[in-house]
Amino acid sequence: MSTHAARRVAPRSVRVAAAALVATLPLTAVAVNYGGTTPVASADEAAVAPAEVNPAFATQADAEANSYVPEDEAGWRQWVYRQADETNEDGTPKPDGGKAGERYGRMEELAVTSPSMGNRQIPVVTIRAKDNPKDAPTVYLLNGADGGTGRANWLQQTSALEFYGNEIGNVNVVIPMAGAFSYYTDWEQSHPTLDKDGNDVGGKQMWETFLTKELPQAMEGSNGHFGSSSDKRAIIGMSMSASSVLVYGEQNPGFYNAIASYSGCPATTGVAEIGVDQVVQRGNATYEQMWGARGGATALRNDAQVNVGKLKDQQNIYISAGTGLMGEHDVPSGDRLRGNPVGSITPAVEGGVIEGATNVCTHTFKAAAEKAGVNHIEYNFRNTGTHQWGYWQDDMFGSWPTIARGLGFDETQAVATRDKAAATYLDNNQGIGNAGSLPLLTDAFQQAQEEQAAANGEQ
């Protein structure tokens, strides 16, 4: 067990209320070091060995036999492997072939061994570029609080596979599928459960080391897994990892050609610690296990707002936040809920509070960035929108011109790709329109009245 006892978790109602309190505080109260003029030094840049990439699993059965990922944490596999035989009704194979359990064409599940984390094996899903894979840059997608181990990951909640793999087509994509409640940071202390893979192998979590040093060395370059000659890379984070990717840019200057941060709270010290607590406590961990003393050197180093001045030379940054008010993806008639009125409760209540808090955080960060002379960040402040994947999918499309510019692609073409992809998604996910929302509830109420009247008439 850790030398620090796990902090008692407050009731959910108290935690939600606390998050709401953060959203109501004055902008200057959300974090310490508001001006961002005292950046904290980067960690010692010692040489780090690359991760070891094991051969891709040929089938889902092979991956499951390894057991390095608990089966209940690998729901994303259905997007990596075929779920049905791809044959015609007469039994003849379809043109692209394939049987249940086999990998889809350019996708792979890789067990990647991290030296810094005690040879723990990390599940990493990759999508190889369709066009010019040997000259394609790399895009890293980080998941949110559960690290992709639940349903909340890029494969299950967005059209990332279609967008990056086909509509863009000329980028290699890397998606780690672990790291729950870790902030993708290097931890100060070991944790009895969060450190381990499914085979109970692993040491202290060292996610920044893995994601900024070990994994890129293994994936990129002519000798890397993709065998690409490109030295360009971008990283995208959402929710928990939205602050992490900004820290990576600050503490690894010049490493990324583009960074996108969706719905995060860049500040993680001072009053903003309350949001960090809510995340790590879900993993039965504490802030101190992760970063040591509150307000200490490690905690300050991992606060993106404190170190915002380090982004002066970082180009192609996209940051987004909604207001917390319900928008098009939150209503029963929309593309996400498709007629489920009960489904609006979570985004309206919990998701609205969280996004309202991130909106305050992001405005505070913007003010701190401008005070520090960092004026080139592209912000997308939506008038509506809660803390949920529908808006991060919008951001995936919306940030592509910024990402593309950093990766050396034509920005005009990137805008066209963005617009076409967004239109295609809406065409394929139109929701139920007037059949949902209030009309749906009205119809249900009317049907209940008619059934009651009929029952009374029979008595």
Output 437 or 256, whichever has higher pLDDT. 256
Looking at the 3D structure of the chain, how many domains does it have?
A: 1
In-domain check, residue 91: no
d(CA 309, CA 273): 21
Please report, in angstroms and rounded to a whole number, the separation of the first and last CA atoms in the chain.
67
Query: In whole angstroms, what is the distance from residue 96 CA to residue 98 CA?
Result: 7
In this model, does residue 28 exceed pLDDT 80? Answer: no
pLDDT tens digits, 347-382: 666 787 899 999 999 999 999 999 999 999 999 999
Establish if 88 belongs to a structural domain: no
Kindly report the CATH number assigned to the domain that includes residue 157.
3.40.50.1820
What CA–CA distance (Å, rounded) separates 423 from 442?
A: 31
Q: Report if residue 61 sits inside a domain.
A: no
| pLDDT surpasses 60 at 2 | no
On whether residue 72 sits in a domain, the answer given is no
Q: Report the distance separating Cα 108 and Cα 182, nearest Å.
A: 24
Domain for residue 353, yes or no?
Answer: yes
Residue 6 lies in a domain: no
> How does strand 258-262 pair with strand 317-321?
parallel
Q: Which two tokens stand for residue 198?
A: 């499914």
Asked whether the predicted pLDDT for residue 330 surpasses 70, the reply is yes
What pLDDT is stored for residue 157 in this prediction?
93
- Condensed to tens digits (0 to 9), the pLDDT of residues 232-288 reads 999 999 999 999 999 999 999 999 999 999 999 999 999 999 999 999 999 999 999
Residue 1 lies in a domain: no
Name the pairing type of β-strands 138-141 and 107-114: unpaired
Per-residue model confidence as pLDDT tens digits over 384-405:
989 999 999 999 999 999 999 9
Q: Does 130 map to a domain?
A: yes
The per-residue pLDDT for range 193-218, each reduced to its tens digit, is: 999 999 999 999 999 999 999 999 99
86 torsion bin: left (phi>0), alpha (psi -120 to 50), beta (else): beta
Note down the domain range covering 319: 12-45+112-458
Of 7-11, 187-191, 278-282, which range is least confident?
7-11
11 falls in which pLDDT band (50, 70, 90)?
very low
pLDDT at 262: 98
